[in-house]
């Protein structure tokens, strides 16, 4: 029996590495077995008994008694066994040889240490994975340990985490020793051990920051229903209050904007729009496009898209710088949003109505065919171009080949009409966007032109009237359909 004061050593490792003591005890036994085999032979049958209450350790080599020894590491001859142990031993019995760890030598002890440390590392990695896999979605604070090719190694409570380049906010600079706050998005468990992946660009990071700053969110009174981010530049969040007495937007903004400003500072100046949530899709899209004012919204449920009509002076505001406002609104609502100015919308409506063609105008449709089509409710070329299979069955007097030919002709006609409408819209938009007056009408030297410009500020309508004489007149319906009228 030997006492090596092992308890104190195990307790120290347990505290330092936060590893379960039972795991360390099992690792110690394996380490001592490996050390003994290093000393007496790899095929040796080694038994290690450790009393973890007293700290006493017994290391035994077990050998089987045989007539003729083949393996000296695991066998002993009957003659030798009776000489060294007992005269009563028989072939097939087992003898135990006590080993002194002091005789193992440095190499053997090194093997024991390696086994023990390997088990400790495995246990430590397992603990890290178990701890952090349930913390995905949390914000952690760490210290920048190293910056390598844009990727940042972060020390989080002595545990190494990774902030990849793609998860960094553009323009932020990091240096060793700098404190950093980030969002856990993934915990991987690979051959090299657990890998904690962090992010500062994830929408969940913005949500978590607001949760930390706004007590009403933490308490569940206010809820963030949706988040859309363009990291480092601009974001939108939609919030709702579950208590009529609490203003959701006001809670997130805080006194004099203190709460939202704290989040903005953490995100390197990222501007944040806070809008009230609405269960109504049209209402939500309208609010998401703020600060622009929306006149009307039409929904295409099948394609999950929406067309938002805004006044001409609100169009650039609705689009936002580099298209950020409408892009974020689309992310926030989950709907594809097409923005149309009021003038363009009304122009398209007017032209589309003007281009509605009666089915009798389609090539290949005589009076009898037109009558059969109208009896089935097909009165326009557009209706024929988009006819359903069920509707076709309602026209039994026309053979299928004739109907298919008419449909193909209608579709080709409508495609041509669509192109004409687009061309007319573009021309009309260009005409509407033309300058109100032409500087050439002023004549004279620069001083006179300057004087005229100043007068134009005061008498805009008069000068605009003069300019219209020089300016190309916008296309009208009469112009568009001149050829058709002439043909008639």
Residue 64's Cα: distance from chain center in Å? 65
* Helical packing angle, 21-40 and 6-17, nearest 10°: 130
* Helical packing angle, 400-432 and 342-354, nearest 10°: 140
Distances (CA, A) of 467 to 69, 452, 461, 464: 120, 13, 10, 5
Q: Which residues contact 236 (CB under 8 A, 6 or more apart)?
A: 227, 228, 272, 273, 274, 275, 288, 328, 329, 331, 332
Q: Which residues contact 233 (CB under 8 A, 6 or more apart)?
A: 270, 271, 324
CA–CA separation, 289 vs 327, rounded Å?
9
pLDDT value for 263: 95
pLDDT value for 355: 61
Same fold, 214-277 and 278-354: yes
Task: Give domain 214-277's CATH architecture.
Answer: 2-Layer Sandwich (3.30)
Q: The tokens of 213 are what? A: 């700053």
CA–CA separation, 44 vs 33, rounded Å?
10
Helix (H) or strand (E) holding 317: helix 315-319
DSSP category for residue 463 = H
pLDDT value for 260: 95
Residue-wise DSSP of 470-488? HSPPPP-HHHHTHHHHHH-
Q: Which residues contact 273 (CB under 8 A, 6 or more apart)?
A: 234, 235, 236, 237, 290, 291, 328
Q: Which fold has domain 358-434+472-485?
A: DNA polymerase; domain 1 (1.10.150)
Sequence spans of domains, the chain: 2-129, 135-199, 214-277, 278-354, 358-434+472-485
CA–CA separation, 88 vs 83, rounded Å?
10
Q: Helix H segments across 90-230?
A: 106-132, 203-213, 215-218
**CATH superfamily assigned to domain 135-199:** Nucleic acid-binding proteins (2.40.50.140)
Asked if residues 204 and 169 have their Cβ atoms less than 8 Å apart, the reply is no
Helix (H) or strand (E) holding 307: strand 305-310
pLDDT value for 431: 66
Mean pLDDT for each consecutive 10-residue tract of the chain (488 residues)?
A: 52 61 73 80 84 75 87 85 85 85 66 69 75 87 90 88 93 90 89 85 95 94 96 95 94 94 94 95 95 93 92 92 94 94 82 72 81 82 80 75 84 81 72 52 46 42 41 47 43
pLDDT value for 454: 45
pLDDT value for 111: 64
Distances (CA, A) of 3 to 10, 110, 481, 483: 14, 19, 109, 112
pLDDT value for 49: 81
CA–CA separation, 46 vs 96, rounded Å?
9
CATH placement of domain 278-354: 3.30.300.20
Helix (H, G, I), strand (E, B) or coil at 426: helix
Helix (H) or strand (E) holding 390: helix 389-392
pLDDT value for 47: 86
Task: Give domain 2-129's CATH architecture.
Answer: 2-Layer Sandwich (3.30)
């Amino acid at each position: 029996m030997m006492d090596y004061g092992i308890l104190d050593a195990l307790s120290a490792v347990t505290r330092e590495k936060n590893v379960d003591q039972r795991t360390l005890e099992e690792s110690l036994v394996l380490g001592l077995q490996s050390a003994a085999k290093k000393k007496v032979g790899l095929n040796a049958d080694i038994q290690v008994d450790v009393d973890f209450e007293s700290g006493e350790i017994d290391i035994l080599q077990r050998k089987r008694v045989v007539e003729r020894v083949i393996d000296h590491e695991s066998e002993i001859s009957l003659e030798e066994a009776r000489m060294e142990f007992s005269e009563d031993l028989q072939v097939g019995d087992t003898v135990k040889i006590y080993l002194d760890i002091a005789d193992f030598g440095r190499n053997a002890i090194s093997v024991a240490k390696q086994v023990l440390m390997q088990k400790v590392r495995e246990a430590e990695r397992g603990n890290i994975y178990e701890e952090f896999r349930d913390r995905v979605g949390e914000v952690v604070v760490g210290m920048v340990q190293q910056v390598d090719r844009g990727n940042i190694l972060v020390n989080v409570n002595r545990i190494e985490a990774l902030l990849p380049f793609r998860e960094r906010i553009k323009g932020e600079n990091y240096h060793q020793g700098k404190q950093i706050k980030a969002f856990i998005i993934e915990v991987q468990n690979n051959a090299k051990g657990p890998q904690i992946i962090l992010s500062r660009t994830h929408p969940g990071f913005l949500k978590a920051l607001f949760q930390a700053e706004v007590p009403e969110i933490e308490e569940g009174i206010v809820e963030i229903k949706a988040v859309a981010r363009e990291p480092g530049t601009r974001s939108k969040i939609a919030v709702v209050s579950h208590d009529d007495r609490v203003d959701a937007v006001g809670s997130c903004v805080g006194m004099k904007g203190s709460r939202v400003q704290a989040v903005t500072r953490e995100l390197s100046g990222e501007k944040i729009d806070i809008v009230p949530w609405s269960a109504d899709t049209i209402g939500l899209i309208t609010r998401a496009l703020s600060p622009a004012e929306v006149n009307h919204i039409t929904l295409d449920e099948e394609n999950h898209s929406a067309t938002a009509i805004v006044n001409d002076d609100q169009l650039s505001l609705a689009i936002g710088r580099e298209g950020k406002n409408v892009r974020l609104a689309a992310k926030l609502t989950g709907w594809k949003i097409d923005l149309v100015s009021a003038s363009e919308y009304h122009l398209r409506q007017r032209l589309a109505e003007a281009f509605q063609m009666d089915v009798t105008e389609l090539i290949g449709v005589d009076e009898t065919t037109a009558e059969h089509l109208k009896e089935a409710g097909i009165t326009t070329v557009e209706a024929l171009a988009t006819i359903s299979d069920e509707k076709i069955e309602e026209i039994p007097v026309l053979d299928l080949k004739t109907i298919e030919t008419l449909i193909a002709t209608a579709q080709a006609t409508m495609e041509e009409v669509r192109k004409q409408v687009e061309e007319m819209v573009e021309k009309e938009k260009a005409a509407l966007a033309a300058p109100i007056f032409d500087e050439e009408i002023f004549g004279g030297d620069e001083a006179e032109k300057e004087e005229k410009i100043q007068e134009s500020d005061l008498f805009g309508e008069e000068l605009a009237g003069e300019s219209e004489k020089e300016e190309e007149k916008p296309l009208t319906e009469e112009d568009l359909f001149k050829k058709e009228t002439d043909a008639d």
